[in-house]
Amino acid sequence: MATKPPKGDPVQDAPQVTEPQHAAAGLPAIGHTLRMAHQQMGVKRTALTLLSVNQKDGFDCPGCAWPEPEHRHRAEFCENGAKAVAEEATLRRVTPEFFAAHSVADLAGRSGYWLGQQGRLTHPMYLPEGGDHYEPVTWERAFDIVAEEIDGLSSPDEAVFYTSGRTSNEAAFLYQLFARELGTNNLPDCSNMCHESSGSALSETIGVGKGSVLLEDLYRADLIVVAGQNPGTNHPRMLSALEKAKANGARIVSVNPLPEAGLERFKNPQTPKGLTTGAALTDLFLQIRIGGDQALFRLLNKLILDTPGAVDEEFVREHTHGYEEFAAAARAADWEETLAATGLAREDIERFLRMVLDSERVIVCWAMGLTQHKHSVPMIREIVNFLLLRGNIGRPGAGVCPVRGHSNVQGDRTMGIFERPAPAFLDALEKEFGFAPPREHGYDVVRAIRALRDGKAKVFFAMGGNFVSASPDTAVTEAAMRRARLTVHVSTKLNRSHTVTGTRALILPTLGRTERDLQAGGEQFVTVEDSMGMVHASRGRLEPASRHLLSEPAIVCRLARRVLGERSTVPWEEFEKDYATIRDRIARVIPGFEDFNARVAPPRARGSARAGDTPSGGFALPHAPRDERRFPTATGKANFTAAAVEYPKLPEGRLLLQTLRSHDQYNTTIYGLDDRYRGIKNGRRVVLVNPEDARELRLADGSYVDLVSEWKDGVERRAPGFRVVHYPTARGCAAAYYPETNVLVPLDATADTSNTPASKSVVVRLEQSATD
Ligand SMILES: Nc1nc2c(c(=O)[nH]1)N[C@H]1C(S)=C(S)[C@@H](COP(=O)(O)OP(=O)(O)OC[C@H]3O[C@@H](n4cnc5c(=O)[nH]c(N)nc54)[C@H](O)[C@@H]3O)O[C@H]1N2
Ligand SMILES: Nc1nc2c(c(=O)[nH]1)N[C@H]1C(S)=C(S)[C@@H](COP(=O)(O)OP(=O)(O)OC[C@H]3O[C@@H](n4cnc5c(=O)[nH]c(N)nc54)[C@H](O)[C@@H]3O)O[C@H]1N2
Ligand SMILES: [Mo]
């Protein structure tokens, strides 16, 4: 068995391993934050910037989509939010001289970590056909190049317009408007790889593809289930909400193959107690096998059905559809099969049941641990069944809570970034702008990759993100991208997608959230929507990283004017000057945004308030199931569903690999090489394996293996050189970081219905690494 890292691995990747921790945040978190922030921004800028995150007149944190509490601490402290801010507000710069010194081939050989560490992009850059270096280009020339390539297409459907989830509502609305006026619905987004399964499951069952709870509901809940989520790292501010819920008497059940430190104990750095012992959060930890959640909830539903008086019969009668069929399927649930699927003990499931029966108000929260499996959609629908049974949707303190990732991913969807737009939305666009938007569905992420691979798409345009690193099947995706005629990235920072290019390529540098946005009509702000459907303003304060940057709305407006010219019916110039004019149109097109401008204004500037307006500025979007127990589904009721139970079945000698985030990364942006809570330092190429499995597979702790994924197409997908770490994960389950492991996720291995890459259930074998 190899015991040294294989040659050729990045030198810095030399993982050291200590015991996993059992609590999150506390003083060490403050120390880590300040160290990272000082390195990127210096002391003064650190203080100024971190103080205006999520404050009334400041900018929305570019970290996660967790909502802000009404009563903010002066610095709503969150280690990973601060890292996201430091990463953007860094004083390091990637200039034309940098590109002159580094060929594209050189950059393509660097790690994602190195690329991101180089700093902010300062100039529009162009890689001409046959060129080996990016060269500076004027904005006018850049837009001409995009227009030339789009004009050369035989159909607008040969262009693809990707969006990542940091894009503001204003920019997103304009971007989809441009794509649709051009004539395509090819608007894939990061959500296709993220919460698409939640959207698919929820829109069909409750009629709205978004969560049904507000922060106040968490504070009132009796029981909060956190399944498939690691908030200590990915939504740290959620821990304060859980702490408060507990103080109010809630109990917490965590369902996860890994014991995650943040869920065990939270040391709130804003309270004196938090700096010492902190608060225990989880009352019951269900260490489930990967993919076992549908089986768990199905059995729980059977047990509820079998308990006299446990079903909320009035709610079921008044508000739901499909109960009988569901109940028949649930009654057939089998203990033995459930124990095999979940790896749980009978007593634990019985304890869970008792906690459920003792609770009047139940909330289920989840994230990527539930959305990225083949059977994610029926899994989430089973959770809806579970909540419906006891009337836990549409009443205070209860509901569904899919916790979104990117800070405005939910808002981008609301604004129409979707390859399968609703007819009513297109009708409203048509009425407002007077052109006929295309009606055929466009490509999602996986279909866009296939289209590029097959030569059916030729122009790839990305509004943010890092498409080639975030997408599955890295080798396939990169080859697909290289076939494009033109690849364009609107970006703040350098990343791998800039190095894997079409025949020609452009990098268009843009303002970040933290930066002042000055247009002809004065200083602008933008708006965002958080994970709970709250909309509010975000205003950057810092000087832009370079005077050559354009804002995202300005880029779309200028591009649209150049590409569409006279044929456009949209006032792009006016939109660029004054974003309030964009919001006026959003207010007319999208339900729930009535009086948009007035309602996002600072509280003192506002007139009379409407329902949902918050005292600190901003408002809650309407949500029929939450607000009125009305379910706008095809049946007009909340739908029970009765899918067959599925769970992954592993061939002998294989493990089920989940690809997840370390504490020091934001998706494909790597902040550092540590995963502090899991006891990993100085390296990312690690694979966490249960010690019993490791013994059976003869995998010594500290040995090096290649991860080889097995999929029915027979193609060998290999990620070489991972250090084995014996770790208390569930039996049969392994874990390794994304994006290094995306090479293992087959493009065609996606969730049914949502088409989300199944990046949390990859069947792998572990092979000894070659040492030289
Ligand atoms: N600092 C930081 N913050 C972030 C991000 C980041 O990268 N860094 N990313 C943002 C984005 S876009 C998103 S979508 C979110 C992601 O937030 P998370 O979903 O918390 O992120 P992951 O690291 O993918 O963690 C998945 C969790 O699900 C568990 N899990 C895996 N498989 C299963 C399963 O089958 N069943 C159950 N019950 N659990 C399972 C894993 O053990 C892990 O705890 O975070 C957002 N916030
Ligand atoms: N194997 C595996 N794959 C996954 C996942 C997984 O769990 N496992 N998770 C999936 C999920 S949940 C998601 S959301 C996707 C993430 O996919 P993406 O959203 O595409 O990826 P990010 O890494 O968040 O994008 C980072 C880049 O965004 C740019 N950027 C940052 N801020 C801004 C801004 O304000 N404006 C603009 N224009 N650009 C900006 C920077 O250039 C930075 O390099 O990855 C998915 N892929
Ligand atoms: Mo995400």
* DSSP string for residues in 584-635: HHHHHHSTT-TTHHHHHS-GGG--S--TTB-TTS-EEPP-HHHHH----STT
Question: Which of the four pLDDT bands, split at 50, 70 and 90, describes residue 41?
Answer: confident
**Cβ burial, residue 731 (10 Å; 0-12/13-18/19+):** middle
Atom 6 of ligand 1, residue of closest alpha carbon: 666
Q: Quick one: pLDDT at residue 767?
A: 97
What average pLDDT does the structure give for the chain? Answer: 94
* Residue from 410, 492, 754 to probe ligand 2 pocket by mutation (most atoms less than 8 Å from CB): 492
Which residues is 735 bridged to in the sheet? Answer: 658, 688
Phi-psi region of 640 (alpha: psi -120 to 50; beta: other; left: phi over 0): beta
Nearest residue to 53 via CA among 86, 91, 90: 86
Q: Quick one: pLDDT at residue 9?
A: 47
* Residue from 77, 78, 234 to probe ligand 1 pocket by mutation (most atoms less than 8 Å from CB): 234
Ligand 1 centroid, distance to 661 Cα (angstroms): 6
Give the tens place of pLDDT for each residue, 626-665.
999 999 999 999 999 999 999 999 999 999 999 999 999 9
| pLDDT at 73 exceeding the cut of 90 | no
Global pTM reads 0.96
Lowest average pLDDT, out of 23-32, 171-180, 593-602, goes to 23-32
| pLDDT at 72 exceeding the cut of 60 | no
Ligand 3 centroid, distance to 199 Cα (angstroms): 13
Residue type, 432: E
Ligand 1-lining residues (CB < 6 angstroms): 63-64, 80, 194, 227-230, 233-235, 255-258, 260, 288, 290-291, 293, 367-369, 405-406, 658, 660-661, 665-667, 760
Ligand with the closest atom to the CA of 466? 2
Q: Which string of b and e fits 399-409 if b means at least 16 CB within 10 Å?
A: bbbbbbbbbbb
Give the tens place of pLDDT for each residue, 107-146.
999 999 999 999 999 999 999 999 999 999 999 999 999 9
Within 10 A of 630 (CB to CB), how many other CB atoms are there? 18
Cβ–Cβ < 8 Å for 654, 765: yes
Instruction: Identify the structural domains of the chain with CATH numbers, from first to last.
Output: 93-194+416-600 (3.40.50.740), 196-402 (3.40.228.10), 653-768 (2.40.40.20)
Q: Quick one: pLDDT at residue 45?
A: 80
| pLDDT at 278 exceeding the cut of 60 | yes
Question: Which of the four pLDDT bands, split at 50, 70 and 90, describes residue 500?
Answer: very high
Q: How far apart, in Å, are the Cα atoms of 495 and each of 84, 95, 416, 557, 610?
A: 15, 14, 26, 25, 43
Nearest residue to 143 via CA among 561, 539, 441: 561
Q: Quick one: pLDDT at residue 57?
A: 76
Q: How far apart are CA 200 and CA 202, in angstroms?
A: 6
Paired sense of beta strands 522-524 and 120-121, if any: unpaired
Give the tens place of pLDDT for each residue, 427-477.
999 999 999 999 999 999 999 999 999 999 999 999 999 999 999 999 999
Closest ligand 2 atom to residue 745 Cα is: 1
The residue ranking higher by pLDDT, 179 or 55, is 179
| pLDDT at 679 exceeding the cut of 80 | yes
Quote the DSSP letter at residue 422.
-
**Cβ burial, residue 108 (10 Å; 0-12/13-18/19+):** middle
